[in-house]
Amino acid sequence: MKVLLSFDQIHARILEMGEQITADYSGREPHLVGVLKGACPFMTDLAQAIDLPLTLDYIAVSSYGRATKSTGEVKLVKDLDQGLEGRDLLVIEDIVDTGLTLNYLTSLLGARGPRSLKVVTLLSKPARRLVSVHVDYVGFTIEDEFVVGYGLDYNERYRNLKDIVVYGA
Protein backbone atom coordinates (compact mmCIF):
# COMPACT_ATOMS: atom_id res chain seq x y z
CA MET A 1 0.00 0.00 0.00
CA LYS A 2 1.14 3.56 -0.74
CA VAL A 3 2.91 5.30 2.14
CA LEU A 4 1.21 8.63 2.85
CA LEU A 5 3.20 9.54 5.97
CA SER A 6 6.33 7.69 7.03
CA PHE A 7 7.06 6.97 10.67
CA ASP A 8 9.92 9.52 10.52
CA GLN A 9 7.60 12.23 9.19
CA ILE A 10 4.99 11.39 11.84
CA HIS A 11 7.56 11.44 14.59
CA ALA A 12 9.09 14.76 13.52
CA ARG A 13 5.64 16.34 13.54
CA ILE A 14 4.81 14.88 16.95
CA LEU A 15 7.98 16.44 18.39
CA GLU A 16 6.81 19.84 17.08
CA MET A 17 3.33 19.33 18.53
CA GLY A 18 4.84 18.32 21.87
CA GLU A 19 6.96 21.48 21.96
CA GLN A 20 3.93 23.61 21.18
CA ILE A 21 1.83 21.98 23.90
CA THR A 22 4.72 22.25 26.37
CA ALA A 23 4.89 26.00 25.72
CA ASP A 24 1.09 26.49 25.80
CA TYR A 25 0.65 24.56 29.08
CA SER A 26 3.74 25.86 30.87
CA GLY A 27 3.22 25.78 34.65
CA ARG A 28 0.18 23.52 34.33
CA GLU A 29 -0.37 19.76 34.40
CA PRO A 30 -2.40 18.63 31.38
CA HIS A 31 -4.64 15.57 31.57
CA LEU A 32 -4.50 13.63 28.32
CA VAL A 33 -7.53 11.53 27.35
CA GLY A 34 -6.80 9.16 24.46
CA VAL A 35 -9.58 7.76 22.32
CA LEU A 36 -9.14 3.99 22.07
CA LYS A 37 -7.92 2.20 20.15
CA GLY A 38 -6.66 4.23 17.22
CA ALA A 39 -5.02 7.03 19.19
CA CYS A 40 -2.79 4.72 21.28
CA PRO A 41 0.52 5.00 19.38
CA PHE A 42 0.00 8.76 18.93
CA MET A 43 -0.90 9.24 22.60
CA THR A 44 2.22 7.38 23.73
CA ASP A 45 4.59 9.28 21.44
CA LEU A 46 2.95 12.66 22.05
CA ALA A 47 3.03 12.24 25.84
CA GLN A 48 6.78 11.57 25.64
CA ALA A 49 7.22 14.73 23.56
CA ILE A 50 5.54 16.92 26.20
CA ASP A 51 8.06 18.15 28.78
CA LEU A 52 5.61 18.72 31.65
CA PRO A 53 4.10 16.67 34.46
CA LEU A 54 0.94 15.12 33.04
CA THR A 55 -1.61 12.36 33.57
CA LEU A 56 -3.23 9.93 31.12
CA ASP A 57 -6.60 8.28 30.80
CA TYR A 58 -8.47 6.47 28.03
CA ILE A 59 -12.00 6.38 26.69
CA ALA A 60 -13.50 4.13 24.01
CA VAL A 61 -16.33 4.99 21.66
CA SER A 62 -17.59 3.19 18.60
CA SER A 63 -18.82 4.93 15.51
CA TYR A 64 -17.88 2.90 12.50
CA GLY A 65 -18.69 -0.73 13.16
CA ARG A 66 -16.86 -2.78 10.57
CA ALA A 67 -17.16 -0.50 7.57
CA THR A 68 -15.25 2.47 6.22
CA LYS A 69 -18.36 4.70 6.18
CA SER A 70 -19.83 6.38 9.24
CA THR A 71 -23.23 5.30 10.50
CA GLY A 72 -23.57 8.62 12.31
CA GLU A 73 -24.08 6.86 15.62
CA VAL A 74 -21.61 7.23 18.46
CA LYS A 75 -21.72 4.94 21.48
CA LEU A 76 -19.69 5.04 24.71
CA VAL A 77 -17.89 1.70 25.04
CA LYS A 78 -15.46 2.36 27.90
CA ASP A 79 -15.63 5.36 30.21
CA LEU A 80 -12.74 7.19 31.90
CA ASP A 81 -11.22 5.95 35.15
CA GLN A 82 -10.68 9.46 36.55
CA GLY A 83 -12.91 12.52 36.94
CA LEU A 84 -12.22 15.76 35.04
CA GLU A 85 -13.20 18.41 37.57
CA GLY A 86 -10.73 21.31 37.37
CA ARG A 87 -8.40 19.51 34.96
CA ASP A 88 -6.73 20.97 31.87
CA LEU A 89 -8.11 18.37 29.50
CA LEU A 90 -6.56 17.46 26.17
CA VAL A 91 -8.60 15.03 24.07
CA ILE A 92 -6.25 12.99 21.86
CA GLU A 93 -7.71 11.63 18.61
CA ASP A 94 -6.16 9.63 15.78
CA ILE A 95 -8.27 11.22 13.05
CA VAL A 96 -11.17 13.64 12.74
CA ASP A 97 -13.28 12.61 9.77
CA THR A 98 -17.02 13.49 9.84
CA GLY A 99 -16.52 15.12 13.25
CA LEU A 100 -19.36 13.10 14.81
CA THR A 101 -17.14 11.29 17.31
CA LEU A 102 -15.40 14.46 18.44
CA ASN A 103 -18.68 16.35 18.66
CA TYR A 104 -20.05 13.63 20.96
CA LEU A 105 -16.86 13.48 23.06
CA THR A 106 -16.47 17.22 23.61
CA SER A 107 -20.06 17.56 24.84
CA LEU A 108 -19.77 14.46 27.06
CA LEU A 109 -16.42 15.44 28.60
CA GLY A 110 -17.02 19.18 28.63
CA ALA A 111 -20.01 18.59 30.96
CA ARG A 112 -17.72 17.03 33.60
CA GLY A 113 -16.25 20.34 34.74
CA PRO A 114 -12.74 20.49 33.27
CA ARG A 115 -10.99 23.84 33.71
CA SER A 116 -10.13 23.82 30.02
CA LEU A 117 -10.72 21.48 27.07
CA LYS A 118 -8.63 21.34 23.93
CA VAL A 119 -8.50 18.80 21.11
CA VAL A 120 -5.41 17.27 19.54
CA THR A 121 -5.62 15.09 16.45
CA LEU A 122 -2.88 13.46 14.44
CA LEU A 123 -4.91 13.60 11.21
CA SER A 124 -7.81 15.66 9.91
CA LYS A 125 -9.94 15.05 6.80
CA PRO A 126 -11.85 18.37 6.53
CA ALA A 127 -13.47 17.40 3.21
CA ARG A 128 -15.64 14.83 5.04
CA ARG A 129 -17.00 16.97 7.89
CA LEU A 130 -20.70 16.55 8.65
CA VAL A 131 -20.61 18.68 11.79
CA SER A 132 -18.24 21.55 12.42
CA VAL A 133 -15.85 20.86 15.27
CA HIS A 134 -13.02 22.91 16.70
CA VAL A 135 -9.61 21.23 16.71
CA ASP A 136 -6.77 23.03 18.51
CA TYR A 137 -3.77 21.00 17.34
CA VAL A 138 -3.67 19.14 14.00
CA GLY A 139 -0.71 16.95 12.98
CA PHE A 140 -1.53 16.62 9.29
CA THR A 141 -4.47 17.63 7.10
CA ILE A 142 -5.11 14.89 4.54
CA GLU A 143 -7.27 14.31 1.45
CA ASP A 144 -10.44 12.21 1.43
CA GLU A 145 -8.67 8.83 1.40
CA PHE A 146 -9.05 5.94 3.83
CA VAL A 147 -5.77 5.44 5.67
CA VAL A 148 -4.46 2.72 7.99
CA GLY A 149 -1.40 2.19 10.16
CA TYR A 150 0.14 3.85 13.23
CA GLY A 151 -2.98 2.90 15.20
CA LEU A 152 -5.54 3.36 12.44
CA ASP A 153 -7.43 0.26 11.37
CA TYR A 154 -9.63 -1.28 8.73
CA ASN A 155 -11.79 -3.96 10.42
CA GLU A 156 -9.32 -3.91 13.35
CA ARG A 157 -6.34 -4.76 11.16
CA TYR A 158 -3.19 -2.78 10.22
CA ARG A 159 -2.96 -0.89 13.50
CA ASN A 160 0.59 -2.23 13.89
CA LEU A 161 1.98 -0.71 10.67
CA LYS A 162 4.71 1.84 11.43
CA ASP A 163 3.78 4.17 8.59
CA ILE A 164 0.39 5.61 7.64
CA VAL A 165 -0.62 4.14 4.28
CA VAL A 166 -3.57 4.59 1.90
CA TYR A 167 -5.82 1.54 2.23
CA GLY A 168 -5.98 -0.42 -1.00
CA ALA A 169 -3.62 1.91 -2.89
Catalytic residues: 97
The identity of residue 142, as a single letter, is: I
Is the alpha carbon torsion for 115, 20, 34, 143 positive or negative?
A: positive
User: Min. distance of Cβ 139 from Mg ion in angstroms?
Assistant: 17
Q: Is 117 in the site for ligand IMP (CB under 6 A)?
A: no
- Cβ burial of 66 (10 Å; 0-12, 13-18, 19+) is exposed
CA–CA separation, 116 vs 100, rounded Å?
Answer: 21
Q: Could you tell me which stretch among 41-49, 79-87, 138-146, 148-156 binds Mg ion (CB under 5 A)?
A: 148-156
Q: Does 105 bind ligand IMP (CB under 6 A)?
A: no
CB of 44 to ligand IMP, least distance (A): 16
How far apart are alpha carbons 169 and 163 in whole angstroms?
A: 14
- For Mg ion, the closer of residues 39 and 119 by Cβ is 39
Q: Within 6-35, which residues bind ligand IMP (CB under 6 A)?
A: none
Q: In angstroms, what is the minimal distance from the CB of 111 to ligand IMP?
A: 19
Of 85 and 144, nearer to ligand IMP (C-beta) is: 144
Start-end of H helices in the chain: 7-24, 40-49, 100-110
Type and span of the H or E element at 8: helix 7-24
Residue span 128-167 as binding mask against ligand IMP, x where in contact by CB under 6 A, dash where not: ------------------xxx---x---------------
Binding to ligand IMP by residue 63, rule CB under 6 A? yes
CA distance 101 to 62: 8
Interaction site with Mg ion (CB under 5 A): 153
